[in-house]
Chain A
Amino acid sequence: MDQDSSGMFKVQQTIGSVVCCKCGVPMPPNAANMCVNCLRSEVDITEGLQKSIQIFYCPECGCYLQPPKTWIKAQWESRDLLSFCIKRLKNLNKVRLKNAEFVWTEPHSKRIKLKLTVQAEVLNGAVLEQSYPVEYTVRDNLCESCSRFQANPDQWVASVQLRQHVSHRRSFFYLEQLILRHDAASRAVRIKQVHQGIDFFFGNKSHADSFVDFLSKVVPIEYRQDKQLVSHDVKSSLYNYKYTYSVKICPICREDLICLPSKVSSSLGNLGPLVVCTKVSDRITLLDPRTLRCAFLDARQYWRSGFQSALTSRQLVKYSVFYVEPPVGEATVGGQKYALSYVLIARESDIGKMLTVQTHLGHILKTGDQALGYDIYGANVNDDEMAEYRLHGRLPEAILIKKCYDKERERKKGKPRAFTTKKLPMEMDESRGGRGVDPGKMENEYEEFLRDLEENPELRFNISLYKNKDYQESDETASMTDGEGAPTVPIEELLAELELSEEGEGDGEDDMDE
């Protein structure tokens, strides 16, 4: 005799049992008044549902076909494969799907078995649940892109021919790292290294378009686009083309000395005829070392005048610094600090001859340092304007560009660096015998490029550097503590490489970049 909330008493109701109307076994009453077995034997809710079906699989790329044209990538017995298999079944919306799971099949059997549990309403409102197996026959069928690739692996639709007409490949090393960081060439079918440039081949015009877009954002370029007719379907007026982008990178590089033509100089507000290029991104940054003024030229502005550099980093010579006067002016230009001061220097090869020059590196040079700079007095430059300036004595005798760390590097000679870099999968150009790329020269240039990276933190900004596994930290701590050590990349900037070992453990990417 329980009392419920309203105060009325309700007699407790016990459910009695009735006999199943078919088999006579006692059971609690339900909507159909039949025991579960009789109900199951009576009604088959899986009637009309597909129990076996054929699916197509591409063995090259591991994708399954969803007709008419989509190929879906899925691993064996993964969740993606499960949802794909269920989607392929027709009529499954007539019943409610409760559970689906894979039944083990031999991987070579080309069969996928699924066990589905469905619920449906039968008779007078009784809900019946039933499990049944579905078998999928897997047939091998190369997907379109794989079959095209099999037929002709060199097939490309668009190519980007990237060139820079300078004698070194520094820009390409830097670009390579940038491309790796931003994954811009992930869709390239082939990458080929040629004299003074790199060729990228793509399977799709839009991929090439987006790659050229990316390039225009990171370096100043000029390009033209051409197309060549490959085939032509008369009936449906479909034309197949091969597209080629000829991309030229601006030949002005970092640390180049430039003598500006008078027109350009006056348009930039009378920037001294001699300028140093300090940074190349999508714009060129020109610094006048005598006035510490900067100018920025973007690609279009540059190509209006198209001037060449007078002296490039090949022609840098070593100077010893004997005395640095306190700076007369300081400026922060484009995030970089510069200090203008007079220094007493002499060329290493000609110690007797002392020069007093103005330099913008007053903030980092000290007595006894070594510096790299351009010997304008002794240089042989193929530039009429510069020759005229020299005639009138309006040019300094030397311009210092950067501090030299060779002495400090002596200590670390032979020891591996703290970081390594990744490379793009490039093919070498073997076709041009004598004019091909010289591997020894390439190594030297790459070494210089790595040194550049160590010295300039702003260069490292957009690049991923990875921890070198062979490197031991203990060697470095000694030189890290004293301020005189050669510049190195601090450990915090390095990324750990992602390793997928057999045990399935990965080194996480600790991205502690600035």
Chain B
Amino acid sequence: MATRLQFENNCEVGVFSKLTNAYCLVAIGGSENFYSAFESELADVIPIVKTSLGGTRIIGRLCAGNKNGLLVPHTTTDQELQHLRNSLPDSVVVQRIEERLSALGNCIACNDHVALAHTDLDKETEEIIADVLGVEVFRQTIAGNILVGSYCALSNRGGIVHPHTSVEDLDELSTLLQVPLVAGTVNRGSEVIAAGMTVNDWTAFCGSDTTATELSVIDSIFKLREAQPSSIVDEMRKSLIDTYV
């Protein structure tokens, strides 16, 4: 079920948080409201880590990750890197990459199986992505925009893309990603989907400006109504039990 929230009176929640199936990163805000909203949804299921990247709070747009790994830009300090390594589960590989395009969240859109990358990304970066995140990488554009990470919100069950995407593009992307896609908006008609919301397989968080119509579209494309966290966590519990021992 999708939730509406705000970060310090700003509706762009995808900028200040990163949600995956294994962990959740949130930015350090003045009040604890943002953090507690995530906590109330995800507390027992996945770890929620408060962090900054390169001293900034726009962590959602700087890093890219899924349940297998997390990629952070070269601007990340050593302390932040260590903090992340300490807080995240061991199965998650945290890797800092040297890349000219340092806003990795804007350049890479990924779920647990497949990723879309900015067309100008380095060859090595692409290899690192494939390696660390364990995904198949496709260089693509969305509605003529090269910042695929900003204009597309992806989960293992579905995705939303920029509203001006043509029908043929939508079909092509859908075939590549192997998930159903829809062209839609978030935050009362904003086209920058990934900045306005953050999503994983069973829950989504959107800005408070999101209208009921947009919320229903999100719910339907990401199949959030039937999804229960328990089914996924059951799978994970097997690995968790292993670690206790």
Question: At the interface with chain B, which of A10-18, A297-305, A412-420?
Answer: A10-18
Complex CA–CA separation, A21 to B212 (angstroms): 8
Judge whether A20 is part of the interface by a CB distance below 8 angstroms: yes
Cβ-defined contact, A18 with B184, below 8 A: yes
CA distance A12 to B169 in the complex (A): 10
- For the complex, is A23 an interface residue (Cβ under 8 Å from B)? yes
B188: chain A residues within 8 A (beta carbon) = 21-22
Interface pair B211/A22, CB less than 8 Å apart? yes
1/0 contact trace for A323-356 toward B, CB 8 Å?
0000000000000000000000000000000000
Q: Contacts of A14 on B, CB cut-off 8 Å?
A: 166-168
- Say whether A29 contacts B168, CB under 8 Å: no
CB distance from A41 to the nearest CB of B (A): 13
Query: Is B55 in contact with chain A by the CB < 8 A criterion?
Result: no
Whether B168 pairs with A33 at a CB distance below 8 angstroms is: no
A34 part of interface (Cβ distance < 8 Å): yes
* A123 is an interface residue with CB less than 8 A from chain B: yes
The yes or no answer to B185 lying at the interface (CB within 8 A) is yes
Residue A86 lies at the interface, judged by CB distance under 8 Å to chain B: no
Chain A residues within an 8 Å CB radius of B189: 21, 32-34, 123
Interchain CB contact (< 8 A) of A29 among B164, B169, B216, B217: B164
Which residues of A1-42 have CB atoms within 8 Å of chain B's CB atoms? Answer: 11-16, 18-24, 29, 32-34
Q: Indicate whether B77 reaches chain A with its CB closer than 8 angstroms.
A: no
Binding site of B, secondary structure by majority: helix, strand, loop or mixed?
mixed
CA distance A368 to B169 in the complex (A): 111
Give the residue of B166, B168, B190, B216 whose beta carbon is less than 8 angstroms from that of A24.
B216
Cα distance A15–B162 in the bound complex, in angstroms = 12
Asked whether, in the complex, the Cβ of B213 is within 8 Å of the Cβ of A16, the reply is no
A33 / chain B contacts, CB cutoff of 8 Å: 163, 185, 189-191
Mark contacts of B186-201 with chain A using CB atoms, 8 A cut-off: 1 yes-contact digit, 0 otherwise.
Answer: 0011110000000000
* Set of chain A residues within 8 Å of B216, measured between Cβ atoms: 24
Assess A13 versus B166: contact at CB under 8 Å? Given A19-B217, A24-B213, A33-B191. yes
CA–CA, A133 to B169, complex, Å? 45
User: How many B residues are at the interface, by size bracket?
Assistant: 20 to 34
Which B residues are CB-close (under 8 A) to A29? 163-164, 183
Q: How many Å lie between the Cα of A478 and that of B102 in the bound state?
A: 109
* Minimum CB distance partner of B143 in chain A: A29
Contact A21 B166 (CB under 8 A): no
Size of chain A's interface in residues, with CB distance under 8 A? 18
Q: How far is the CB of B172 from chain A (nearest CB, A)?
A: 9
Contact B183 A16 (CB under 8 A): yes
**B164: chain A residues within 8 A (beta carbon):** 15, 29
- Bound-state Cα–Cα, A29 to B189, Å: 10
The residues of A that contact B217 with a CB separation of less than 8 Å are 19
Q: Is B62 part of the binding interface, using a Cβ–Cβ cutoff of 8 Å? A: no
With a 10 A CB-CB cut-off, give which of A11, A20, A21, A24 has the most chain B CB atoms.
A21
- Across-interface contacts of A13 in B (CB, < 8 A): 166, 168-169
Cβ of B169: which chain A residues have Cβ within 8 Å of it? 13
> Is B165 touching A20 in the complex (CB atoms < 8 A)?
no
With an 8 A cutoff between CB atoms, is B27 at the interface? no
Other-chain contact of B213, A11, A15, A21, A123 (Cβ < 8 Å): A21
For B185, list chain A residues within 8 Å (CB). 18, 21, 33
Give the complex CA separation of A34 and B217 in angstroms. Answer: 15
Interface string of B159-178 (1 = CB under 8 A from A): 00001111111100000000
Q: Report chain A residues within 8 Å CB of B165.
A: 16
Q: Is the CB of A16 within 8 A of B184?
A: no
Chain B residue, CB-CB nearest to A12:
B168
- B214 interface contact, C-beta 8 A: yes
Say how far B205's CB is from chain A's closest CB, in angstroms: 18
A11's nearest neighbour on chain B, judged by CB, is B168
Please tell me if the beta carbons of B170 and A16 are within 8 angstroms of each other in the complex: yes
Shortest C-beta distance, B160 to chain A (Å), equals: 10
**Would you call A15 and B211 a contact (CB within 8 A)?**
no
CB atoms of A20 and B183 under 8 A apart = no
Most chain B C-beta atoms within 10 Å of own C-beta, residue among A20, A23, A29, A32 = A29
Which residue of chain A is the closest to B170 with respect to CB atoms?
A: A16
Write the chain B residue with the least CB distance to A13.
B166
A11–B164 CA distance with the chains assembled, in angstroms: 16
Tell me the complex Cα distance, A511–B200, Å: 90
A453 to B111, CA, bound (A): 107
Contacts of A23 in B (CB 8 A): 213
Tell whether A21 pairs with B168 under 8 Å between CB atoms, given A16-B183, A29-B163, A32-B189. no
CA distance in complex: A109, B166 (Å):
56
* Interface residue from A18, A22, A34, A123 paired with B183 (Cβ < 8 Å): A18
Bound complex: CA A258 to CA B170 (Å)? 109
A19 to B168 alpha-carbon distance, docked (Å): 18
Question: B166 near A16 (CB under 8 angstroms)?
Answer: yes
CB distance from A124 to the nearest CB of B (A): 8
On chain B, the residues within 8 Å of A32 by CB distance are 189
Chain A 85-116 per-residue mask, 1 if CB under 8 angstroms from chain B, else 0: 00000000000000000000000000000000
Cβ-defined contact, B214 with A21, below 8 A: yes
Contacts of A22 in B (CB 8 A): 188, 211, 213
- What is the CA–CA distance of A364 and B196 in the complex, to the nearest angstrom? 107
Residues in chain B near residue A34, CB distance under 8 A:
189
The residue on A at minimum CB distance from B191 is A33
Residues of A within 8 Å of B163, CB to CB, are 18, 29, 33
A468 CA to B216 CA in the complex, in Å?
88
Interface centre among A20, A22, A33, A123 (most CB of B within 10 A): A33
| 12 contacting pairs across A/B (C-beta < 8 A) | A11-B168, A14-B168, A15-B164, A16-B183, A18-B163, A18-B183, A20-B213, A21-B189, A21-B211, A24-B216, A34-B189, A123-B189
**Given A20-B213, A21-B185, A24-B216, 13 other A-B residues pairs in contact with their CB atoms under 8 A:** A14-B168, A16-B165, A16-B167, A18-B163, A18-B185, A19-B213, A21-B188, A21-B211, A22-B188, A23-B213, A33-B163, A34-B189, A123-B189
Report the 6 A-B pairs with minimum CB-CB distance, sorted nearest first. Answer: A33-B189, A24-B213, A13-B166, A29-B163, A16-B167, A33-B185
